[in-house]
Structure 1
Amino acid sequence: MLLVKGDRVRTLVDYPDAVPGVFAAPAGTLGTVETQPTRHGGYGIILDGDPTGLPADYAPREIEPLDPTARAALAEDNARKAVIERHPDAAGFTAVHEQGQAEPLGWSFSAGHGANLRYGVVARDGDATAYGLYVYRTKAERALMYGETAALAARRAVRRGCPSARGFEPVMAASDDVPRGWTFSTGRGHWARFGAVTADCRIVMALTTSRAEAAGLLLDDADDA
């Protein structure tokens, strides 16, 4: 089975000195395919938890793809954590499926109680900021299935030029009701950098070493626009 960039895998061999004295990767460590095999080496795998963020070399026989059930369970766990960080009382997570698809698009959930009860959704990538809260669960689920939010449009604009972008977080001034844009990260460890994209999908053309600095550049850009 040929794996492609972005596929999630589990290692089958120990890699005790992935980063000598700093990071060990026993069999069972999860990772993401970054590069495909060449005649000079195996797959380049970015291992979860590796502080360098650099691909480690694994032969095809030394890794296995996550099966759909495990992949969906891992995505759900990450999505739940992101939602609960934003809505601590979130409950009632329910998978949302497209017709004919085995793996869910994401999950709907409830937040609040009594007259303040609302429903939200989170997509598989775990971005808990992409959608608002709705009075009805069905409306929230339709937004996930058919809606094009500003957050999703902005993420797609960034990922066209930077496929590894992740960790999108909204940027708002004190007087704002909706985000002016989103910061994001790319790279890992010492190579991690942060960028920003406005609500109308304009990418702030600078990567910084801190998310706060990227947010400041975004706010300055929005004030100048």
Structure 2
Amino acid sequence: MINGVKVNLNPFRWTKVSNLVVMDSPIGTGFSYADNSECYETDDSKTIADLYAFVLKWFHEYPEFLSNPLYITGCSYGGAYVPTLSVKIVKGIEEGVKPNLNFKGYSVGNELTDYDILLESKVPFAHRMGLISDKLYEDLRISCQGNYWNSIHPDCLRKMEAFKKNTGGINVEHVLLPHCHVDMGMSRSTRYAEERFQMYDGCEENGYEVECVGTNDIGVSENANAYQHVREIYCYVSHI
């Protein structure tokens, strides 16, 4: 039981066929913390360097897993981290960095690679999913000329208001489920981004995904030995 939500054991869980190591990155997210406050000042390059150092150290500590095929996976902003980390791993293998990793590939889901591409894909996605009519889509395509979110054309702006009205309450991660929008701890800029991207988290207790958020949960934080550092904890339970 987590925050009053019952978590069911998935009989088809990934851990039956593979070993999973989940990284909360960059430092300060999830359960991750640092003793030095300067470590919280980071960027993509430093995060990749930290991740690579972690991978090498982990396999150094557990060499019995070195023969296993290694796959790097991630989602959302992991669309930037995962490929970059994979390139660093491949270069390390070519340069003879030890331990020698049995790297086989990477996978990203719902990845964020480019904000403009992601934004402009929302209208075609909504049309293909049947969330907007053929007429509205054609009107948008003609009026906006592919520049849906940054256009200053009055007709495009009007059509986009209709688009937002039609899709504003839809969970784009699973269009058949209601959305469960959690803004606890979000900054104003993060809330604004979510409004534009219209990305809502699933909230079905026994469906495809369970989300539970604990902010400075004392029990969890003490167990993580990081009470003063844990700010938000997101838990996902998937049937995948």
TM-score normalized by structure 1? 0.26
Larger radius of gyration: 2
Greater strand proportion: 1
Greater helix proportion: 2
Query: Larger RCO: Structure 1 or Structure 2 (Cα < 8 Å, ≥ 6 residues apart)?
Result: 2
